[in-house]
């Protein structure tokens, strides 16, 4: 009887302390000849960029003191390689925080980042942008292929 009580108490303790965090994402396949940096935005406007894809902290600054994008090794997608965009929530809710449920991504070549400030990149439109919908991602098995 004592063992059964301990087992039940353990199950209750662990079931209450487990946090289930759902996420959904998709692959970004880089079919270009360039190493690219991908930024996610809330609107189809580069001024609404929230962050670059990579493993940095969400609130870490994108820019250094000179106004250039800070790029870490894990922030870029090499030619013929795959990167990943992940959002919180189930797949049916992907891009839910965006006003029209679309994902807006701005793609900047690494050589452009090395040569220009964020302001110059923005002002001179030295980037490509893509718009992704849930429906498109479902049809492509949750992959987006970038080939400019």
Work out the percent of the chain whose per-residue pLDDT is above 70.
Answer: 76
Query: Average pLDDT, stretch 66-90?
Result: 85
User: To which residue do tokens 């880089």 refer?
Assistant: 30
| Confidence check: pLDDT of 85 > 80 | yes
Query: Phi/psi zone of residue 107: left (φ > 0), alpha (ψ -120 to 50 degrees), beta?
Result: beta
pLDDT band at 8 (very low <50, low <70, confident <90, very high): low
What is the pTM (predicted TM-score) of this model?
0.77
Q: Which of 3-12, 19-28, 57-66, 69-78 has the lowest mean pLDDT?
A: 3-12
């Amino acid at each position: 009887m004592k063992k059964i009580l301990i087992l039940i108490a353990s199950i209750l303790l662990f079931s209450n302390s487990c946090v289930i965090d759902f996420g959904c994402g998709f692959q970004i396949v880089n079919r270009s000849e360039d190493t690219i940096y991908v930024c996610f935005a809330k609107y189809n406007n580069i001024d609404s960029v929230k962050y670059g894809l990579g493993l940095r902290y969400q609130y870490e600054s994108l820019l250094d003191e000179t106004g250039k994008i800070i790029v870490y090794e894990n922030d870029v997608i090499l030619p013929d390689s795959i990167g990943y965009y992940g959002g919180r929530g189930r797949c049916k809710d992907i891009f839910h925080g965006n006003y029209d449920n679309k994902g807006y991504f701005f793609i900047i070549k690494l050589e452009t980042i090395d040569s220009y400030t964020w302001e110059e990149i923005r002002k001179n439109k030295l980037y490509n942008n893509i718009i992704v919908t849930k429906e498109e991602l479902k049809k492509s098995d949750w992959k987006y292929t970038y080939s400019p």
